[in-house]
Each structure stands twice: as structure tokens, then as C-alpha cells.
Amino acid sequence: MTSNKNEYLKRGVDYPIKDGKRTLPGKYYHSQEIYQEEIDKIFYKSWIYACRAEEIPLIGDYKLIEIADESLILVKDKSNKIKALFNVCSHRGTQLCTEPKGSFKSKSIQCPYHAWTYGLNGKLKSAPLMKESKDFQKAKCALHQAHVHIWEGFVFINLDKNPEPFEEQMKVLIGKFSDWKMDELRIAHHIKYELNCNWKLILQNYQECYHCPGVHPFLSELTPVQSAQHDSNHGAAIGGFMDLTKKRGSMTMNGEPAAPPICDVSGDDLQRIYYYSIFPNMLLTPHPDFVMFHHITPLGPDKIINDCYWLFRPEIINDPKAQSGIKSAVDFWDLTNKQDWTVCEQMQRGTKSARFTRGYYSGREDVLFQLDLELLKALGHKAID
């Protein structure tokens, strides 16, 4: 995603956008054909968020990740590296693992059908009654692997055989939030939301506050809408910040900080909440005192799972006196999230109407228009006038 003026002019659109630029047609939120294109050209080819490294702490621990028709086993191997193994036995294609998370106690992965056994690095260790020959060689039967990159404790994977380097796709993120030391934070709470809307509507909702006064009156008291600024519009990570009205406050039920400032966060960042979309499936919200993020998993053109996590310093999580602060942060964002989910689901239903063709963006929704352009570019579709 880029804010470069020449890029916009090449596409034949104004820069910056004015009130009245058109939205995508409704079919982009409902068409099964377009949804499959998005899976093939975006989710199967981009760096996508998978899990936190802390969720796979020990050798043999694993977590399953489902991406449309693909299933991957994220497992820590004997070299303490996280591997992303396709959950498909090389023998006859049986899924090796069905439990969403756990540990391979034997430090190997065995197919439940014919007992072909693989090491945690994906190499085939044994295949009962199979004799090596020129037609069958164990070395050629290793599990397929996806690429893995860990940034600030977040595990990203890429299913493409020759992906763009993570640093290129996500270069805006490199060093952006280093003061938060997010690799040292731990999950304090998790809520799983199941929503009946298109995955793009969640990203769009997250990147504009045109809706905030009406949908989030409480949030608007804590962070004025007019303070919203975008400080990055390049690559797969776009976003900006909003100012807190209360000095050293935070996004909690009483506006007070849920915990002391995180690590090295200081200066202006003590008065800001950052909102970053990490295209296509993650929303990252660093606060001065904690970090919230969303993991979006599309299940079809009109259904998603949105896993929301709250990260705090380990000593805060383990402090009984700090639990009320954590709860206040969780309760605030759970309330705010549900307000968003309601309007996103209403938009999903509304855009299915034959009477809806395309809508109109306001000047406050410039990033949404930009997201549309990047989507069309990724799909190879022409920009729509």
C-alpha cells in the first residue's frame, strides 16, 4: 500500500481522494469466485500472521493453522526453530494431525493411517514395509514446508514457493515498535469472535474513524476523532495513531492505564494509540501499557473467525493486584469490538441487496480507497472508475 502520488496518477485516480470516490461493487464481498481469487492470490502468496511464538514454547509443541483448503502444523523442532509443515502425509495424503494444538511427545509425527513417521523437521524417518529403491526414496518424501519468519514474537508464514522477502513486504514494521519489546510480552487474554461478514470489512472498519462518533461514543471520549493521523501508507503495513485525551491514560473502562508503560515506550508514544493493518489478516494496536491484536481467518466470502488477544508484560500478568487493570482493558475492547462487529455484519447483509451497486467514500476514508486499489492490484483486476 502506497501513498506515492505518482502511483495514484498511474492508476488514473485523484490524490488525495475527495468526497465521493466510489467503493468496490457489492460482489467483492459476496462472490465465491472473487473470494477464491483472494485465497489463491493473496492468502496463499503473502506473508500472513499465524500465531505467537510463545504458543509453541517447547520442542515438540505444535499449533495447527488452517488457511482455506490448506492445513499447516507449526511445530518447534529439535533445533528450537519453528517449522511450518503442510499437514499432508507423503504416502497417500492423509492429514497427520487433527487436534488444534498439543505436543508430539515422541518428538516425531506419525500418520494415523499407515504409520509413516516424520521428524519434527519434516523428514521421513520410517515407512513400514517400504523398501528403498530408485522408485521410492525416503529423502524425497519429506513433508512440504511453508516459509517462516518471526517478528517481535509474532510468527508469520508464507505458502508461496518463492515468496517476496518478509523485510520487503513488511518493511514499514521493521523497527517501528521496537520500544514495546513485543517479543517479551505474553498473552494475558484471548477472545474468539465468529462473525458473518467479509474479511475486508474488518480491515476497512479498523482503518477509519468516520464511524466512531456514532458507533463508539465512549471511545471518542478517550481518543478524539480529529486527532487521527496516518503515519505509514507503504507496503503491507499501513496505519497511524490517535491521541489520548487523558494524560497517561489508556483505552480502558475508566480511561486509566491498565499497567505501567511497556518497556521503553516514552515521549509522545505515552499519549498515543497506534492502529496498524498488517495486510491481509492482522490488526495491531499498541497502547502505552499493553498491546492488542486481531488475527482474522476467512471461512468464506461472508464468514470469518476473529481471534483477539491482549499482550502484557509477564510480571503484570502474574501480579494479582494487576488483574483489575487487565480486565478493564479487555472489557473496554470487547465492548468496542462488538459495536464494530454489529455494523460490519449489517454492512455485509446490506451490500448483498440488488439495490446496492457501489457506495461513496468521504475524504476521511482515503485509506479504505487505497486498500481497494491494492486489493484490485493483487487480484489483477482493473481499477474501477
Q: Residue 382: what pLDDT?
A: 86
Task: Please name the residues in contact with 253: beta carbons below 8 A apart, sequence gap of 6 or more.
Answer: 328, 331, 332
Would you state the cell numbers that stand for residue 263, as one nine-digit string? 518497556
User: 47: closest CA among 156, 176, 161, 167?
Assistant: 156
Contact (CB, 8 A) for 302 and 196: yes
SS3 of the chain: helix, strand, coil, percent, to 5: 30, 30, 40
Q: Which helix (H) or strand (E) holds 176?
A: none
Task: Please name the residues in contact with 79: beta carbons below 8 A apart, sequence gap of 6 or more.
Answer: 121
* Cβ neighbourhood burial of 346 (10 Å; 0-12, 13-18, 19+): exposed
Q: Residue 376: what pLDDT?
A: 92
Q: Residue 371: what pLDDT?
A: 86
**Which residue reads 471518542 in cell numbers?**
220
Contact (CB, 8 A) for 326 and 258: yes
DSSP secondary structure letter of residue 98 = -
What whole-number distance in Å separates Cα of residue 147 and Cα of residue 134?
29
3-state secondary structure (DSSP) of residue 364:
helix
Domains (range + CATH), the chain: 5-45+179-379 (3.90.380.10), 48-163 (2.102.10.10)
3-state secondary structure (DSSP) of residue 115:
coil
Residue 169, φ and ψ in degrees, nearest 5: -65, -40
Task: Please name the residues in contact with 342: beta carbons below 8 A apart, sequence gap of 6 or more.
Answer: none
What whole-number distance in Å separates Cα of residue 83 and Cα of residue 62?
9
Terminal C-alpha separation, the chain: 19
Q: Which helix (H) or strand (E) holds 199?
A: helix 199-206
Q: Residue 334: what pLDDT?
A: 97
Residue 42, φ and ψ in degrees, nearest 5: -120, -60
Contact (CB, 8 A) for 56 and 148: no
Would you state the cell numbers that stand for residue 172, as one nine-digit string? 514499514
User: 255: closest CA among 243, 240, 244?
Assistant: 244
Q: In what order do the strands lie in the sheet with 108-110?
A: 108-110, 117-119, 124-126
Task: Tell me the whole-structure pTM to 2 decimals.
Answer: 0.92
Contact (CB, 8 A) for 262 and 270: no
Q: What is the pLDDT along the chain (385 residues), one digit of tens a residue?
A: 333 444 433 433 333 455 678 999 999 999 999 999 999 999 999 999 999 999 999 999 999 999 999 999 999 999 999 999 999 999 999 999 999 999 999 999 999 999 999 999 999 999 999 988 888 999 999 999 999 999 999 999 999 999 999 999 999 899 999 999 999 999 999 999 999 999 999 999 998 888 888 889 888 889 888 787 877 766 688 889 999 999 989 999 999 999 999 999 999 999 999 999 999 999 999 999 999 999 999 999 999 999 999 999 999 999 999 999 999 999 999 999 999 999 999 999 999 999 999 999 988 888 888 888 889 989 999 877 6
User: 302: closest CA among 196, 193, 192, 194?
Assistant: 196
What whole-number distance in Å separates Cα of residue 110 and Cα of residue 235?
40
Contact (CB, 8 A) for 231 and 258: no
Would you state the cell numbers that stand for residue 185, as one nine-digit string? 510480552
User: 243: closest CA among 276, 213, 209, 268?
Assistant: 268
Contact (CB, 8 A) for 56 and 77: no
**Which residue reads 472489557 in cell numbers?**
331
Radius of gyration of the chain from its Cα atoms, rounded to whole angstroms: 22
Q: Residue 348: what pLDDT?
A: 98
Amino acid letter, 270: L
| Helices marked H in 21-150 | 32-38
